[in-house]
Amino acid sequence: MPSSRGSSQPRDQTHVSDISRLGRWVLSTSATWEAIYIDIDGLVLYIYIFIYMYIFVCSYTYFPLAPIRLSCLARWRAQHAWETLQALLPHTKEELKLELGEKVEGSVLMLLQEAADLFLGGQRRECLQTCEVLLDYSWEKLNTGPWQDVDKDWRRVYAFGCLLKAVCLCEPPGDATSVAAALKACDMGLLMGAAILGDILLKVAAVLQKHLLSGKRPAPGPSQEPPGTKKARNDHVPIPDVTTERTVPRLHCPSLQYFKKHFLVPGRPVILEGVANHWPCMKKWSLEYIQEVAGCRTVPVEVGSRYTDEEWSQTLMTVNEFISKYIREEPKDIGYLAQHQLFDQIPELKQDISIPDYCCLGDGEEEEITINAWFGPQGTVSPLHQDPQQNFLAQVMGRKYIRLYSPQESEALYPHDTHLLHNTSQVDVENPDLEKFPRFAEAPFLSCVLSPGEVLFIPVKHWHYVRALDLSFSVSFWWS
């Protein structure tokens, strides 16, 4: 390895061998420098060009000259992101208008108009203030009454406030914190708001996300850490002995008619093999990939061992925070990214999955199928409950232990009598209190361990209990 000893030698006797390897490469590829013409002027010029090319090369790999790379190129990227955003957004009052019904009071319409005017007039700070008022008021409306009864117009108002807030926040000079805040505002609009202006929040979020990630290179190919072998906090995973239990039947790619006749119509669970195992997610998804595609996005997380517990709560955090707090480090609580329509929020992930063909046997439209993500560490539990639609549960990462009871056994499962939890059983399936719930012991059930690539059909109203045996990612499809 040639060593550069340039400083200890007289300059006019610097040898080619003393130039670093990189330098030699630079020289060899630099067409204008054919002659290794070493003299004082040439040396100075060589050094100048060398440094220039060094920076150029460093900006595309991880070299310790990162600070230089960030300040120049990041500013360029911020400007570029801002221009892309500007091109996305409406420029006129007529385009920046929402069609709203009677439910939205005149006072709010005034504020919407004011916010739009301030935005188009470039008054960022005042626009942000008006947006806060709009967001707070519509938030109160969103929290009044059951969610399904909330008028969609209030959700549109909320989304509108989030949109203007996000764009105002990331106006240049935008640093990483303000862009992250802007992305969070977009996510709040996507989570609680309704689609406006042609799904503009999705587009804005995509631009912001790209800008935030622009410093890191995507890790191509398979991950360093194969899913499912993440080291557990404790190695005592009580894997139920399914050999002593009646198992869910398995079929390899049954025909539509066979599935309909033997399982859909009679309401019998079955595991479908060969249906999902070629989906791109099966090979692509890993902790690293998820962090890269969705890391900075805000998602709802359930904290607590199960949703029937008193200490159970829901909170919002970014996917990165969720992974670092509840998956990587020694988590104190169980956190579960559960029942979240992640694929509506991040369309890029939707391309890694498909809708099972068997859904066409239902009456509903494809757009009405609800796709939920279920992502969490080993040990997450969904208490025994039933859902009002048919369900295909596709396992992508890790394994899940699942128990299924027929709706005919409902009485032996002792559902809660409150309206809020009437679809949930009071019994802890793997640790039942048989004194309190005696009939539970006799109720027949099917069980299985669902592994990556497999799809479980859970018929409508079929009671199911799920526990993750490993770090797990499942995708559920609710259809009718």
Partner 1 sequence: MDEERRGTWFGFGFCGFGQALGSGLGRQVHSPEPLRTPGGSLDVCRVSASWSYTAFVTRGGRVQLSGAAGGTADGCTDAWASEELLVLLRAGPGAGAELQAWAPGSAMRGDPLWSQAVQEAEHGPSRDETQAGLLPLLPCARAYVSPRPPFYRPLAPTLRARRLELGAEHALLLDAAGQVFSWGAGRHGQLGHGTLEAEPEPRLLEALQGLRMAEVAAGGWHSVCLSETGDIYIWGWNESGQLALPTKSLAEDGKTTAEASGLEEDGSEVKRGSAGEDGAPAPFIAVQPFPALLDLSPGSEAVKVSCGSRHTAVLTSEWGKYGQLGHKDTTTLDRPCRVEYFVDKQLQVRTVSCGPWNTYVYAVEKEKS
Q: List all residues 6 or more positions away from 430 whose beta carbon is below 8 Å from its beta carbon.
A: 238, 240, 465, 467
By CB under 8 A, is residue 365 in contact with partner 1? no
In the set 46, 119, 137, 401, which binds partner 1 (CB under 8 A)? 137
What is the size of the binding site for partner 1 (CB under 8 A)? 21
The binding track of 98-127 with respect to partner 1, each residue x by CB under 8 A or -, is -------xxx--xx----------------
Give Rg (Cα) of the chain.
29
Burial class (CB in 10 A: 0-12, 13-18, 19+), 448: buried
Region for residue 305 given its phi and psi (left: phi exceeds 0; alpha: psi -120 to 50; beta: otherwise): alpha
The smaller minimum CB distance to partner 1, of residues 247 and 313, is found at: 313
Task: Give the CA distances from residue 146 to residues 61, 83, 188, 389, 398, in Å, rounded to whole numbers and listed in that order.
Answer: 51, 40, 19, 20, 35
Residue 418 in the binding site for partner 1 (CB under 8 A) = yes
User: Which range of residues in 131-139, 181-189, 269-277, 459-467 is near partner 1 by CB under 8 A?
Assistant: 131-139
Which residues on adjacent β-strands are paired with residue 467? 381, 401
> In this chain, which of 4, 59, 123, 129 binds partner 1, going by CB under 8 A?
129
Listed in sequence order, the residues at least 6 apart from 425 whose beta carbon sits closer than 8 Å to its beta carbon are 383, 384, 385, 413, 414, 415, 416, 463
When asked if residue 408 is in the footprint of partner 1 (CB under 8 A), the reply is no
CB atoms within 10 A of CB 69: 18
CB of 340 vs partner 1, minimal distance in Å: 20
Position 144 contacts partner 1 (CB under 8 A): yes
Closest CB 335 distance from partner 1, rounded Å: 14
Tell which one of 83, 140, 329, 348 touches partner 1 (CB under 8 A): 140
**C-beta of residue 360 within 8 angstroms of C-beta of residue 457:** no
> Which residue's CB is nearer to partner 1, number 145 or number 198?
145
Between 252 and 332, name the residue whose CB sits nearer to partner 1: 332
Residue 231 touching partner 1 (CB under 8 A): no
- Residue of the chain from 99, 241, 311, 365 that contacts partner 1 (CB under 8 A): 311
From 130-138, 278-286, 406-414, 426-434, span contacting partner 1 (CB under 8 A): 130-138
Please report whether residue 42 would count as binding partner 1 according to CB under 8 A.
no
Alpha-carbon gap, residue 140 to 134, rounded angstroms: 10
Report the residue number, 129 or 178, with the smaller CB distance to partner 1. Answer: 129
Q: Distance between CA atoms of 209 and 59, rounded to whole angstroms?
A: 20
**Shortest CB 127 distance to partner 1, Å:** 13
Where does 89-143 have alpha helices with state H? 106-120, 124-142
Q: State which residue, 333 or 348, has the beta carbon closest to partner 1.
A: 333
Nearest CB to partner 1, comparing residues 110 and 265: 110
d(CA 87, CA 365): 34
Q: Measured between alpha carbons, how far is 272 from 279 in angstroms, rounded to an integer?
A: 14
Asked if 136 interacts with partner 1 (CB under 8 A), we say: yes
Site string for partner 1, 313-342 (x = CB under 8 A): x------------------x----------
Picking from 356, 379, 374, the residue whose alpha carbon sits closest to that of residue 479 is: 356
> What is the separation of C-alpha 149 from the centre of its chain, rounded to a whole number of angstroms?
27
Provide, rounded to whole angstroms, the least separation between the CB of residue 176 and partner 1: 20
| Site for partner 1, rule CB under 8 A | 105-107, 110-111, 129, 132-133, 136-137, 140, 143-146, 311, 313, 332, 418-420
